[in-house]
């Protein structure tokens, strides 16, 4: 456990968990699938400094690069940085192309440090491999293999053309920056973070359902940062009825607001609710109601009917539908009932819990409404990845490691590959 994102990502691939762990299996598939991935072995301090800088550059695309990955690139020749770049937006040049443009002729003979394997295909822009070869780059070091099968093969092509290549330097922080993109292209679903604000005794609302505000201003502002980097913020009809949330980013400047998504089996969302003010929203329901659909459409909301066998919304199918719409990262901000269903159905990858130094007591509402279990072996398991103090509150991050029972998380396969470009 650590307080830095880098170490937190590294913890994500640490060993020691029981077998059958969803996110561990996924990380193995994603980060270790390539035999040429050496991890952090065989690199010197100059390599590390250059890749650390490339990661900083990649993070500049945190709020804008989606649905593409956040990628940074640094070109170094004779110990001197000759070019830097990052990918800002889909359709705009990739990090490597921006760095090459900054370096000009000084790119010849340089080493390119890039946080994601250079692409080898025509997407919205031409292959970066071609640009690197044309510029005469001598060596390419990539942090993370490109998980996109259409874009992959970049390092192989560079190697075949006589360029020295290496893969795996700082791959965990590179993966941490792009969990959503990697999840979408490898699993056909977004990376789902579930955010809760609770008292020290784990209560998210009073018995009378009031919950505003359990945590302090700084914790709430911090939560806006997670909203800002998410493509969608998801909530349930219970929370909409109770709190009428806006689900927008207000505590910081952002060029893009996340898409509000509501889970509402009966399509009871009232057209006057505040989350509809932005003129776009997605509502998943379990039964068609033409009149309600029309009223919501008039507010810019799209309705998708996706029932499960119990007459509720089919949550795993809902995630696949979000991925189909190029949603990389989802932030869940909802109540105990939907939190419980999402966890039980394997639809949560990470929990971000803001814990306030207060006690509400047994009559308050908990975090996850789940059926009673009669053996500890049946509990859901998580792995802490980070702890941080935020104002008077504490922020805990944890990856969901195992959800027992019939609703095991889906780990791979649903293949929803979309080009980056
Ligand atoms: N402290 C916090 O972090 C926090 C955050 C948000 C909310 N809250 C509090 O939480 C309370 C609301 O929680 P809640 O549990 O009543 O509502 P909720 O979890 O926001 O929404 C639950 C509703 O989602 C719908 N749903 C649709 N498909 C579902 C499925 N497959 N599984 C489960 N639910 C499904 C159900 O209604 P239908 O069957 O009608 O669709 C269910 O009643 C409020 O008091 C709010 O203030 C606290």
**Which atom of ligand 1 approaches the CA of 196 most closely?**
3
The verdict on the CB of residue 393 being under 6 Å from ligand 1 is: no
The verdict on the CB of residue 37 being under 6 Å from ligand 1 is: no
- Among 213, 227, 238, say which to mutate for ligand 1: greatest number of ligand atoms within 8 Å of CB: 238
Of all protein residues, whose CA lies closest to atom 13 belonging to ligand 1? 335
Question: What was the pLDDT predicted at 415?
Answer: 36
The verdict on the CB of residue 202 being under 6 Å from ligand 1 is: no
Of all protein residues, whose CA lies closest to atom 35 belonging to ligand 1? 338
Indicate the average pLDDT of the chain.
Answer: 88
Q: Rounded to whole angstroms, how far apart are CA atoms 231 and 11?
A: 25
Question: What was the pLDDT predicted at 13?
Answer: 34
Between the CA of 261 and the centroid of ligand 1 the distance, in Å, is 13
In terms of Cα–Cα distance, which of 194, 209, 234 is closest to 396?
194
Place of tokens 């009559």: 363
Contacts of 260 (CB under 8 A, 6+ apart): 232, 233, 235, 247, 275, 276, 278, 280, 281, 282
Contacts of 322 (CB under 8 A, 6+ apart): 189, 190, 232, 261, 282, 330
Token readout for 68 is: 């593409």
> What angle (nearest 5°) sits at the alpha carbon of residue 56, between those of residues 347 and 387?
50
Q: Point out the catalytic residue in the list 84, 96, 176, 350.
A: 96
By percentage, how much of the chain surpasses pLDDT 90?
76
- Among 319, 337, 360, say which to mutate for ligand 1: greatest number of ligand atoms within 8 Å of CB: 337
Question: What was the pLDDT predicted at 138?
Answer: 97
Summarize pLDDT for 130-139 with one digit per residue, the tens: 999 999 999 9
Between the CA of 160 and the centroid of ligand 1 the distance, in Å, is 54
Q: Quick check: is 362 catalytic?
A: no
Pairing, β 139-144 against β 164-167: parallel
Of all protein residues, whose CA lies closest to atom 24 belonging to ligand 1? 236
The verdict on the CB of residue 338 being under 6 Å from ligand 1 is: yes
Between the CA of 401 and the centroid of ligand 1 the distance, in Å, is 23
Question: What was the pLDDT predicted at 206?
Answer: 95
Summarize pLDDT for 145-168 with one digit per residue, the tens: 988 766 668 999 999 999 999 999
The verdict on the CB of residue 145 being under 6 Å from ligand 1 is: no
Question: What was the pLDDT predicted at 4?
Answer: 35
Summarize pLDDT for 358-408 with one digit per residue, the tens: 999 999 999 999 998 888 888 999 999 999 999 999 999 999 988 876 544
Contacts of 116 (CB under 8 A, 6+ apart): 58, 69, 71, 142, 143, 144, 146, 174, 178
Confidence category of residue 90, pLDDT binned at 50, 70, 90? confident
User: Residue range 221-249: average pLDDT?
Assistant: 96
Q: Rounded to whole angstroms, how far apart are CA atoms 206 and 348?
A: 24
Confidence category of residue 16, pLDDT binned at 50, 70, 90? very low
Q: Rounded to whole angstroms, how far apart are CA atoms 168 and 182?
A: 15
Question: What was the pLDDT predicted at 31?
Answer: 56
């Amino acid at each position: 456990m650590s307080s830095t994102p880098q170490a937190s990502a590294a913890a994500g691939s640490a060993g020691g968990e029981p077998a059958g762990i969803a996110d561990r299996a996924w990380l193995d598939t994603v980060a270790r699938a390539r035999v040429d991935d050496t991890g952090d072995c065989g690199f010197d301090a100059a390599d590390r400094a250059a890749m650390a800088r490339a990661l900083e550059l990649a993070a500049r695309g945190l709020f804008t690069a989606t649905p593409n990955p956040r990628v940074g690139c640094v070109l170094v020749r004779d110990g001197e940085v000759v070019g830097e770049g990052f990918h800002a937006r889909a359709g705009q040049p990739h990090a490597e192309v921006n760095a090459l443009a900054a370096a000009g002729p000084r790119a010849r003979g340089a080493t390119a440090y890039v946080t994601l394997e250079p692409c080898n295909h025509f997407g919205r822009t031409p292959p970066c491999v071609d640009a690197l070869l044309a510029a005469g780059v001598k060596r390419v070091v990539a942090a993370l293999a490109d998980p996109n099968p259409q874009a992959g093969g970049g390092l192989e092509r560079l190697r075949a053309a006589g360029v020295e290549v290496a893969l795996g330097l700082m791959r965990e922080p590179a993966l941490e920056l792009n969990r959503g993109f990697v999840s979408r292209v490898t699993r056909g679903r977004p990376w789902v973070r579930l955010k809760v604000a609770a008292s020290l005794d784990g209560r998210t609302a009073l018995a009378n359902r009031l919950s505003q505000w359990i945590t302090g201003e700084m914790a709430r502002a911090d939560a806006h940062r997670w909203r800002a980097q998410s493509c969608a913020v998801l909530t349930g009809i219970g929370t909409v009825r109770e709190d009428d949330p806006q689900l927008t980013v207000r505590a910081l400047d952002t060029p893009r607001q996340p898409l509000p998504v509501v889970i509402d089996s009966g399509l009871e969302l009232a057209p006057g609710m505040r989350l509809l003010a932005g003129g776009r929203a997605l509502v998943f329901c379990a039964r068609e109601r033409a009149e309600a659909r029309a009223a919501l459409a008039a507010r810019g909301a799209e309705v998708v009917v996706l029932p499960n066998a119990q007459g509720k919304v089919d949550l795993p199918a809902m995630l696949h539908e979000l991925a189909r719409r190029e949603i990389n990262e989802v932030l869940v901000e909802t109540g105990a009932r939907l939190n419980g269903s999402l966890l039980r159905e394997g639809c949560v990858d990470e929990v971000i819990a803001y814990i306030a130094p207060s006690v509400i007591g047994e009559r308050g509402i908990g975090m996850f409404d789940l059926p009673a279990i009669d053996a500890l072996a049946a509990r859901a398991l998580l792995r802490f990845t980070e702890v941080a103090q935020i104002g008077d509150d504490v922020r805990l991050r944890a990856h969901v490691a195992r959800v027992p029972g019939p609703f095991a998380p889906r780990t791979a396969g649903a293949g929803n590959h979309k080009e980056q470009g």
